[in-house]
Amino acid sequence: MTLRGRAAVVGIGEVPTRRLLEGRTLYGLCAEAAKMAINDAGLRKQDIDGLVTDGGAALATMAEYIDIKPNFATGVSMQGASGATATTVAASAINAGLCETVLVVMGNSRSSGPPGGGASVRSEWEEPYGMAPGAGTGYALIYNRHMYEYGTTQEQMAKVASDQRFNAVENPNAVFNGQTATVQDVMNSRYVNYPLRLLECVMPCDGAAALTMTTPERAKALPNRPAYLLGSGLEQSNANIWQTDRITTTPVATSAKRAFNMAGYAPGDMQFAEFYD
């Protein structure tokens, strides 16, 4: 089955990302982004009959905050791949005829309280042995192994962090708007978990983003130029680092091939790339 051209993005919304949006809840932020995405598409809340959001959110509560009554709703929990996966799920639901117009919305709010809670594989079998909460410890292991296998240098890795700031510097909605970080800045920042430095680590922040997707037929009647989904690929592997066969290889190697094959394009055809860090 292909999803090529079967659904289109017709509206977007984004609450500016900040270090901390004091007093803002996850549902409130998502409702704000959702309103923007619906208005941007030239639609009304009554037009939304599908909802895809974060797997950690209560679907009924999210729909209630946004004030919609979808006949299709689901949550996606794929960590850094959740946004792309949610878009694929929305397009699949549209293609299957389960709904016509889907709202995809996700966000984060540290004011809502710490994530997680209760026993987990990580809390019982990793954290007691030094795998502290957060991504830093796991990625430090991957970083070390990559240097061992491929001769990667810390300067090369620092350039990745520096390059990823390039667009954020000019983006008013970004946490690091106006804050450059040269390779030397990254190299001069303190170690958090060797060999990861502070400016290479993820920045906890608050914000929300949403998009509206619909059928190609309906998209043609709406004010914005439709952005059609041409290709998508999914691949699920491990949630815990010790469950992977090779820690220097990610499922992106497989999912990217599937996306390119569906779209009928190759990596060399791309003029723009945006990678999750």
Measured CA to CA, the distance from residue 141 to residue 62 in angstroms comes to 37
Structural domain ending residue among the three candidates 159, 184, 200? 200
Tell whether 148 and 230 lie within a shared domain. Answer: no
Tell whether 163 and 36 lie within a shared domain. Answer: no
pLDDT of residue 9: 99
- Answer yes or no: is 17 within a domain: yes
Tell whether 41 and 86 lie within a shared domain. Answer: yes
Tell whether 155 and 109 lie within a shared domain. Answer: no
Tell whether 72 and 209 lie within a shared domain. Answer: yes
pLDDT of residue 196: 94
- Answer yes or no: is 276 within a domain: no
Q: What is the pLDDT of residues 117-160, one digit of tens each?
A: 445 566 666 667 666 666 678 889 899 999 999 999 999 999 99
Tell whether 35 and 145 lie within a shared domain. Answer: no
- Answer yes or no: is 182 within a domain: yes
Which CATH number belongs to the domain containing residue 28 in this structure? 3.40.47.10
Tell whether 168 and 49 lie within a shared domain. Answer: no
- Long-range Cβ pairs for the range 59-68 (8 Å, 24+): 61/27, 62/27, 62/30, 62/105, 65/27, 65/28, 65/30, 65/31, 66/30, 66/31, 66/34, 66/35, 66/103, 66/105, 67/31, 68/103
- Answer yes or no: is 60 within a domain: yes
Tell whether 220 and 255 lie within a shared domain. Answer: yes
Tell whether 173 and 262 lie within a shared domain. Answer: no
Which residues have C-beta within 8 Å of that of residue 274, sequence separation ≥ 6? none
Name which of 202-211, 223-232, 243-252 the model is least confident about. 243-252
pLDDT of residue 154: 98
- Answer yes or no: is 127 within a domain: no
- Answer yes or no: is 125 within a domain: no
- Answer yes or no: is 121 within a domain: no
- Answer yes or no: is 61 within a domain: yes
Tell whether 142 and 253 lie within a shared domain. Answer: no
Structural domain ending residue among the three candidates 146, 181, 200? 200
Tell whether 184 and 53 lie within a shared domain. Answer: no
pLDDT of residue 26: 93
Q: Encoding tokens for residue 272?
A: 């723009």
Structural domain ending residue among the three candidates 200, 216, 234? 200
Name which of 88-97, 151-160, 210-219, 266-275 the model is least confident about. 266-275
Share of residues in the chain with pLDDT > 90 (%): 69
- Number of independent structural domains in the chain: 2
Residue 52 pairs in a beta bridge with: 74, 104
Q: What DSSP string runs through the chain?
A: ---TTS-EEEEEEEEEEES--TT--HHHHHHHHHHHHHHHTT--GGG--EEEEETTS-HHHHHHHHT---SEEEEE--GGGHHHHHHHHHHHHHHTTS-SEEEEEEEE-GGG--S--S--HHHHHTGGGT--SSSHHHHHHHHHHHHHHH---HHHHHHHHHHHHHHHHH-TTSTTTT----HHHHHHSPEEETTEEGGGS----EEEEEEEEE-HHHHTTSSSPPEE----------SSGGG-S-TT--THHHHHHHHHHHHT--GGG-S------
pLDDT of residue 139: 87
Tell whether 24 and 109 lie within a shared domain. Answer: yes
pLDDT of residue 117: 47
Domain carrying residue 164? 136-200
| Cβ–Cβ < 8 Å for 254, 233 | yes
Q: What is the pLDDT of residues 161-207, one digit of tens each?
A: 999 888 889 999 999 999 999 999 999 999 998 999 999 998 889 99
Name which of 14-28, 54-68, 116-130, 252-266 the model is least confident about. 116-130
Hey, what amino acid is at 235?
E
